[in-house]
Structure formats: C-alpha cells, structure tokens
Amino acid sequence: MSALWAARWARNGGLIVRSTVPTLRMAAPKKAPAKAKAAEDEAAAPAGEIKVGSPIPGVNFLKDGKDPVYKEESEYPEWLFKLLDPKPTLRELNIKFDEEGPEALSTQEYQRMLRLMNRGRIKEHNMAKSKK
C-alpha cells in the first residue's frame, strides 16, 4: 500500500473513494516584469486632456473595426452627461415625498424609491432569517 493511497484511505474514514472527475494540471502563467506592467498601465490610462479627433482606445470590439473618435461635447446628446450625475438616495426621496407630497416626485424617482424600499425590506428579512 503506497503512502498516498493510505493517506486517502485514512482521510475518507476507511472508505475507498475514487474520483471520477478528471484533473488538469497546468503551470501557472508567468508574471510580467514590474517595469513592463507599469508601462502597460500608463498606456491604457490617458494622461491629461483628451483631444478632439483622437481615437478612444479599447472601445472597438469588432475584428476589422476601428476605434471611435472623440467629438466636441456639443455633438453628444444632453442626456448622455446626465448619466454621470449621482442618483438620489432613499433618504432624499423619502424627505421629498414627506415634505412636498407624492406629486413632487417624477415617475422615475417614485419607482426608484419603491425599488430601494423593497430592497431594504428584503435585506432586513434576510438578516433576520440568518440570525435564527
């Protein structure tokens, strides 16, 4: 009886267990030198201002396609810049709802408030359930 077989036999409580899942052993990938990795990070992140007409790196996913080009801000729709604005929190929405009434909230704000309230209720339920 080999040592490996004896160790497996003892670990399994004296039962002979044979794995049916094939294992694939591969060497770990080689790490890039620190200087080369730092150079890649600098190349990936644009430094300074973005020039109009310069390509946007990393956006193209087509094999034969080209990277899109930066345009003037006036050429982009207004709603695009509103995507970066922070969304109101549940507390802010509740204050607005309580002080000004339900008519003060837009449809999107009201739906967000309900969604956040429901999410909080679910989290509380899950916490109470996990403590039992």
Question: What are the pLDDT digits (tens) for 13-33?
Answer: 555 555 555 666 666 677 766
Give the structural domain span for 58. 52-131
Domain count, the chain: 1
Q: Would 59 be classed as within a structural domain?
A: yes
pTM: 0.48
| DSSP codes joined into one string, 62-113 | SSS----B---GGGS-HHHHHTTSPPPPHHHHHHHHHHH-GGGS-HHHHHHH
> Which pLDDT band holds residue 52 (cuts at 50, 70, 90)?
confident
Give me the chain's average pLDDT, please.
80
Residue from 65, 63, 42, 64 nearest 55 by CA: 65
Task: Give domain status of residue 58, yes or no.
Answer: yes
Q: Judge whether 111 lies within some domain.
A: yes
Q: pLDDT-based confidence at 59, cuts 50/70/90?
A: confident
